[in-house]
Amino acid sequence: MSVKETLAQLKEKMNSNPEGIAGVEKVYQFDLSGEEEGTYQIIFSNDQVEYVEGVHQEPKCTLVMSDKSFLKLVEGNLNPTVAFMSGKLKIKGELGHALKLQSILNKYQ
C-alpha cells in the first residue's frame, strides 16, 4: 500500500471512530524519503483528522523517516522508540507530541 493510500485509510478509520482523537488539536508533519518522498501533514482539529501534502500549517512535531518506515509505523510493525534510538526516525519538536501520536496510532491499528 502507498503512503497516500495508508493516510487516506487512517483518516477514514479515525473520522469514523473519533474517540481516540477526541480533544487533540495538533498538526504533525512527516518528512519522508524514499520512493514516495515528500512532506505530509496530519491535522487533528475538532475531533476529526485531515491529511494534506506539503506544509500548510505550523507543525507541533515533525517526524523524519523513510516512506517504508512510515508504513511500518502506521501498521504497527515498527517500534517508534527503537526506530528513534537506531536513527531510522528523527523527531523535530517536543518528544511528548510524538509520544501522543504513538498512542493515537496504537488505537487505530
Query: pTM score, two decimals?
Result: 0.93
- pLDDT for 18 equals 96
Instruction: Give the span between the Cα atoms of 56 and 9, in whole angstroms.
Output: 21
User: What residue type is assigned to position 70 of the chain?
Assistant: F
**pLDDT tens digits, 73-105:** 999 999 988 999 999 999 999 899 999 999 999
**pLDDT tens digits, 20-73:** 999 999 999 999 999 999 999 999 999 999 999 999 999 999 999 999 999 999
CB 32, CB 105: distance < 8 Å? no
| Count of Cβ atoms closer than 10 Å to residue 36 Cβ | 16
- pLDDT for 1 equals 85
Which domains does the chain carry?
3-104 (3.30.1050.10)
- pLDDT for 109 equals 83
Q: Collect all residues with Cβ–Cβ distance below 8 Å to 82 and sequence separation of at least 6.
A: none
69 class by beta-carbon count within 10 Å (0-12 exposed, 13-18 middle, 19+ buried):
buried
